[in-house]
Structure 1
Amino acid sequence: MAAACSGWRCLGQLPWRLRAAGQAAGMGLLRAQSRGYCVPFGTGRYARARALKGSRMLVGAAFALGGTFGLFQTLQYPLQAQEHLAEQQAAEQLNDSSVIISAVKTYLISRKKSLEEIVSFYPPMKAVNERGKEVTEYGNKYWLMLDEMETQHVYPIKEARVEEMKWRKWADDWLVHLISPNVYRTPREALASFDYIVREGKFGTVEGFFAKYVGAVAMFFIGKRLKSRHQLQDNVREDLYKAANDWVKAVGKHRPFMGGSQPNLADLAVYGVLRVMEGLEAYDDMMTHTKIQPWYHRMEKAIGEAEVTNWQLLQPLY
């Protein structure tokens, strides 16, 4: 799709580029003539006519040459860029957010390994899901690839690592599938959700109209399909409420986060999924009918403080 779009953009720019290249060559020749660098053949009316005719031929040749060169450059550069991009993406692209998070976290803790080496610890594997569709899975995607000393530092309690992996997987396999059926539960909620998306996304008038109404209708029916696929209750809010309270129970009363005094990757995974609903009716209902609000607000505060700290660290020293 990216290559096709790039090709269309290049073809759309061809007339402009051809004109620009030809005009540049032609203007260069005309400037040379005006400055006396091109000597006319003889003098008199006939000579001037010959010179004018010759000049027109040269200008035409220059336009043709410039156009040909512009066409060559226009076609050559995007093809080379696309080949380079394809090679780079084939070597580096990761599409699984859990793998990306695990790899980056490992890199931040263990600077002894390069990011490329760390990514190689998460090999892609082809598998067939329950619907018979071939998908790509990644081995070890919930593990941090640390040595014994680093593991002891990050997970002083042995069970903490297993707990983090368990709830990260729960967020991927269950919690994330509750979002669409809840935010697009009714036509009114679907329309409100897309109204929010269009407003925050700064869509144009026409694009916003189609995104809002066509998108709302499409996602309402998709939400119903997902509800059936994941065997949710008739009132999908009940599944959302239960999931939120299950998470709060797992965190417990004696620690602010599952990671203890600071959020761990499970905290971030759950927060990232639930944050998608902010500003929507499903989010307000969840905050009202479950016990998740205190933990959620602690996460907001912790992330805000981390952003301020990181911003300060990135400021130049004077």
Structure 2
Amino acid sequence: MNMIEAINSALDCVLASDRNVLIFGQDVGYFGGVFRATDGLQRKHGRDRVFDAPITEAGIVAAAVGMGAYGKRPVVEIQFADYIYPATDQLISEAARMRYRTGGEWWSPITVRSPYGGGIYGGQTHSQSPEGIFTHVAGLKTVIPSNPHDAKGLLIAAIEDDDPVLFFEPKRLYNGPFDGHHDRPVQSWAGHPASAVPAEHYRIELGKAKIARPGEALTMLAYGTMVHVALAAAQEAGVDVEVIDLRTLIPLDLQTITTSVEKTGRCIVVHEATRTCGFGAELAALVQEHCFYALEAPVMRVTGWDTPYPHAFEWEYFPGPARVARAIRQIIEV
């Protein structure tokens, strides 16, 4: 399966296994979603379980919060992550605080899916990476898969979780892995190990990172599309890099991170979002706090620019293998 098919399969599995699961959002019903992630689900499970909503992100998430408090497990789609901002009050002030403000009497078992990130020439309003905003909010969980197998298992775990989960889907990876070079043909997931997705129901525990490439000289932390960029950069630099796919940002698998950095003594963080107050700053701080005496060089970050998403310079903004490989060589020489 490619990532779109894996997400569709996950949604199909949970709809079949739990009558409380509902799916709604803009164009997710009859049309099957702008990226076809919900294609066929309304025909199979009915219009009362998979249905369209008006163009009102705040209303969509608000309805989901209410449904969740009354025992449903709504899965809503925000058509692009750039459009999630009207719903931030509902996410931050209601969903994230529900369990705490009621002393556990009510909770908000909602999942908010959204395509995110750049790399498809979507322009400034279809390419943003807002994960850093939401990882700051206590009570929200944030998941970003890098491949079809993980996407299905993580999405099922997110839907079955009793807390609100933001599930950001790197749309650059929907149809194939990303090698970082926009001038090459789009790769297919066909034959890629991570495209082997079981048809049946399975879960991948939230808060568990994965070592995507073992190594001894340097630890590289990445998630989503940047996992593939990190792997390509490690090969280009010719350095024994250990690449960790975080998979979930909150909860974060700090143990896997610290074990790796204590072994390698060096760390680079790669993400697509802007540098200032990006999630990489939190990762760098945690590595410094927990691995200070093991570090042989400062923690480095390779990120997007501190600008609004620059459509005309998308591929310069987007961290690629060449830029990451330069950081690898620089930190090895320290």
Question: When the two structures are superposed, what TM-score results if normalisation uses the length of structure 1?
Answer: 0.25
The structure where strand makes up a greater share of residues is 2
Question: When the two structures are superposed, what TM-score results if normalisation uses the length of structure 2?
Answer: 0.24
Name the larger-Rg structure: 1
The structure where helix makes up a greater share of residues is 1
Bigger RCO (CA 8 Å, 6+ sep): 2
